[in-house]
Amino acid sequence: MSKLLRKTQNKQLSEGVTLVQEVPKSDSGFEYVEFKAIDLEPNASYKESLTNVECCVVALTGKITVTDGDQTFEEIGTRESVFERKPTDSVYVSNDKQFEVTANAKARVVLCYAPSDNPLPTKLIKAEDNSVEKRGEYNNQRQVHNILPDSDPSANSLLVVEVFTESGNWSSYPPHKHDQENLPEESKLEESYYHEMDPPQGFVFQRVYTEDRSIDETMAVENGDVVLVPAGYHPVGVPDGYASYYLNVMAGPERIWKFYNEKDHEWIIDRP
């Protein structure tokens, strides 16, 4: 099994709460990014206290209520499936705060973490606040929802984005990387990919590789899997007949996304 591929866990945490995925720094080798996905049955709750990390609570599917004790955001979430291809609601919670998530209906919630020591206001990131982009041409097309982009000052470290790639297309392509502190040309950011497929029995291929090939892994990624990108290029290929969704969490020394395309493949951008 690849060290970069994390399969679903489906571990019962408490009544009505199932841990789908967990990527702690202690187990990933990451310095900045942590990730968790949980399923909540109706009326079930999950509570957590943050210390030196901030968290973006993404209402991936279903309806949830999120509170930090001072502010409460009721019945947020916009979709029953990510493949409705519309943005959803999220909540930013800063370091040194406690939050609780309660399911108003069956829900899957993603928790995205990165280091923080500067308390910021808790903020509801509404679905309509997500900027939506169409990227790529030919068989390199995808739709992007920016939940916490680097242009949004609501967070100290976190960058969160979700991407939809249609059947037979490539994504995160041409291969690009962001593993060097070399601004303004390139920033150093760790990244996690949480994947879903439509239909759910599908799979995609993701390759993670560095220039010197000290990392070079190609993985068959299934529904609910997470791929870790500590460094290197990381393209995704989607087979015919299936659609791909992934949610990215990024963080690094500076909160800016500047990527570097692999020169051997950059020519595809400028095709006539």
Domain with residue 255: its CATH number is: 2.60.120.10
pLDDT at residue 1, rounded to an integer: 65
Tokens for 186?
């390139």
Number of domains observed in the structure of the chain: 1
pLDDT at residue 271, rounded to an integer: 81
Can you give 81-127 as a three-state secondary structure string?
Answer: CHHHCCCCCEEEECCCCEEEEEECCCEEEEEEEEECCCCCCCEEECH
pLDDT at residue 97, rounded to an integer: 97
Q: How far is CA 236 from the centre of its chain?
A: 14
Contact 93, 100 (CB under 8 A): no
Mean pLDDT of the chain: 96
Range of the domain at 258: 5-270
- The whole-model pTM stands at 0.97
* Per-residue pLDDT tens digits for 121-160: 999 999 999 999 999 989 999 999 999 999 999 999 999 9
Show the low-confidence residues of the chain (pLDDT under 50).
none
Portion of the chain with pLDDT greater than 90, in percent: 97
Question: If you compute the radius of gyration of the chain from its CA atoms, what whole number of angstroms results?
Answer: 18
* Cα separation, 176 vs 164, whole angstroms: 18
Contact 125, 258 (CB under 8 A): no
CA distances from 118 to 132, 157, 256 (A): 29, 10, 17
pLDDT at residue 270, rounded to an integer: 83
* Cα separation, 258 vs 46, whole angstroms: 35
